[in-house]
Structure 1
């Protein structure tokens, strides 16, 4: 397929690479030094979203936040201005479910098909083409997008209509965020009580407390290796989406709120660009620091 891929960050770069390796033609927007290898592998650099989207059968977005998606789609020289009739727009960013529905209406009014398909799995999942992909959209749109998803992920679920993929991703981020906070608190407790956190983690891995977060992020916390697989700043953005949704739905998410505040504190400490496992640094920081 002729594909426009817009958003070549930590996740987007390997995702685009898998599509190139599968033989697709890619027009790439937002090419920087770190993504220059994709051009060398056969991708075409485009100087605007519109230039990338012109003639594309599918446009894939992998962007940081809701305003970024809106600008790329509908801003000056945006995707919508160059989208050919029948083209598929796949937003794999993690953004507002409510805004997603509005974006889809505008794209489909212009003759396109919209699928929201946020992902989970972090940089490792992106590099290994093992992402979990949660898709929202029509049956027909999902069927068209699925062959592309299969080049980037392993667990692919059509959750429901437009926006439902983003809703699933917000739910995912709630669970992951609360689990990271729980593991950070448990290891902080273990250390303060004089036990070896590594041995405590080893013991817990054999019981009901075992989880992927304890396995992967627990080890990062013990080793203090916080190079970002997924930045605290971005996870805090996702928790903000959860809180915005809770207010709109008039429901309480008290543990989500407290974890979001912990992430905000981490950002204020200067840890926003560290991996979200670095939340433990905020818990273990001296009072007032």
Structure 2
């Protein structure tokens, strides 16, 4: 299976890297020619443009920063889609939009799946990230060999769009956890607690979480570079709020989170790293919520291994 990968950014570049390490016949494309050159130096082919990639490849994967970017790429690829071709969307996107574009793809006789990832850039870098897959079962079976190279746990979530719904939910929860951790760490610092001890106290408690085990380390080291920016956070929590509005669910925490992140963008820049949101509290209190001994960047220490489908309880 010749595979194309469009979007070699923080996440996409790492997913494409897993395919390349596994020996996949890989064509790549990105608006940044430097990123393309990095991959061609390692043995990938320069895909040229989305239309050519869909013409030349069996499957084309997109991992792009916005629904609008994905839509533009799909429209360019559509004339070259047909039986045997697959569009695999790995961006975090709007479920309705992937269904709209997916209908066009299916009308051409091709197949489509939305396959967003979860687990952080450091796990994408080792092929140990989790992947959701929304598509019919036949398409899932066709793309599973690719997914098990890029990810460790693969969950077939149901029909097209279902994976995107679940993905924005997980990013909403991660953002809520980040904001509460910022408050918790700042209050502990103000209370005179040792921050290394505080980190371990959370890690062994009922308050522990994936976000604490990863992002709290970057907050405390002071680097606050999680490879995820505030504009992406806003996109994801905004999509979650849109789902709630569509289904008439009156949320209280979600609008407050959007307001907090909006203020963070106003202070630090639209594309500031999301972990910098703690600096709002540091500025308000005059505290520095840092501690020695924490890493400048996250590294996945779990050995890379072939992924497998995760079967839900029934």
Say whether the fold is shared (TM-score over 0.5): yes
The alpha-carbon distance between structure 1 residues 228 and 212, as it changes in their structure 2 partners (threshold 3 A), is closer
State whether residues 28 and 36 of structure 2, in contact with CA within 8 Å, keep that contact through their aligned partners in structure 1: no
More displaced 10-residue stretch of structure 1: 187-196 or 96-105: 187-196
Aligned to 1:221: 219
Give the superposition deviation at 1:204.
Answer: 2.0
More displaced 10-residue stretch of structure 1: 214-223 or 149-158: 214-223
More displaced 10-residue stretch of structure 1: 98-107 or 37-46: 37-46
Gaps of 5+ in 2: 286-314
Pair 1:5-2:5 in alignment: yes
State the secondary structure of the residue aligned to 2:40: helix
State the secondary structure of the residue aligned to 2:154: strand
Give the superposition deviation at 1:271.
Answer: 4.5
State the secondary structure of the residue aligned to 2:93: coil
Aligned to 1:208: 206
Instruction: Give the Cα–Cα distance (whole angstroms) in 2 for the partners of residues 25 and 220 of structure 1.
Output: 36
Instruction: Give the Cα–Cα distance (whole angstroms) in 1 for the partners of residues 274 and 248 of structure 2.
Output: 28
The alpha-carbon distance between structure 1 residues 192 and 272, as it changes in their structure 2 partners (threshold 3 A), is farther
Gaps of 5+ in 1: none
Instruction: Give the Cα–Cα distance (whole angstroms) in 2 for the partners of residues 122 and 35 of structure 1.
Output: 22
Matches within 5 A, 1:1-289: 1-30=1-30, 31-74=32-75, 78-286=76-284
Deviations 1:249-277 (A, max 9, x none): 11122212212221111111125434322
Q: Which structure 1 residue ranges, 4+ long, deviate > 3 Å from structure 2?
A: 271-275
State whether residues 4 and 47 of structure 2, in contact with CA within 8 Å, keep that contact through their aligned partners in structure 1: no
Instruction: Give the Cα–Cα distance (whole angstroms) in 1 for the partners of residues 212 and 74 of structure 2.
Output: 38
Instruction: Give the Cα–Cα distance (whole angstroms) in 2 for the partners of residues 164 and 183 of structure 1.
Output: 29
Give the superposition deviation at 1:180.
Answer: 0.6
Give the superposition deviation at 1:147.
Answer: 0.5
Instruction: Give the Cα–Cα distance (whole angstroms) in 2 for the partners of residues 283 and 272 of structure 1.
Output: 18
Structure 1 length normalisation: TM-score?
0.93
Deviations 1:235-256 (A, max 9, x none): 1110010111111111122212
Instruction: Give the Cα–Cα distance (whole angstroms) in 2 for the partners of residues 179 and 35 of structure 1.
Output: 35
Instruction: Give the Cα–Cα distance (whole angstroms) in 2 for the partners of residues 98 and 128 of structure 1.
Output: 31
Instruction: Give the Cα–Cα distance (whole angstroms) in 2 for the partners of residues 257 and 196 of structure 1.
Output: 33
Give the superposition deviation at 1:283.
Answer: 2.7
Structure 2 length normalisation: TM-score?
0.86
State the secondary structure of the residue aligned to 1:27: strand
Instruction: Give the Cα–Cα distance (whole angstroms) in 2 for the partners of residues 223 and 24 of structure 1.
Output: 37
Give the superposition deviation at 1:3.
Answer: 1.1
Instruction: Give the Cα–Cα distance (whole angstroms) in 1 for the partners of residues 226 and 73 of structure 2.
Output: 25
Q: Relative contact order (C-alpha < 8 Å, sep 6+): which is higher?
A: 2
Instruction: Give the Cα–Cα distance (whole angstroms) in 1 for the partners of residues 225 and 163 of structure 2.
Output: 28
Give the superposition deviation at 1:86.
Answer: 2.3
Give the superposition deviation at 1:46.
Answer: 2.6
State the secondary structure of the residue aligned to 1:207: coil
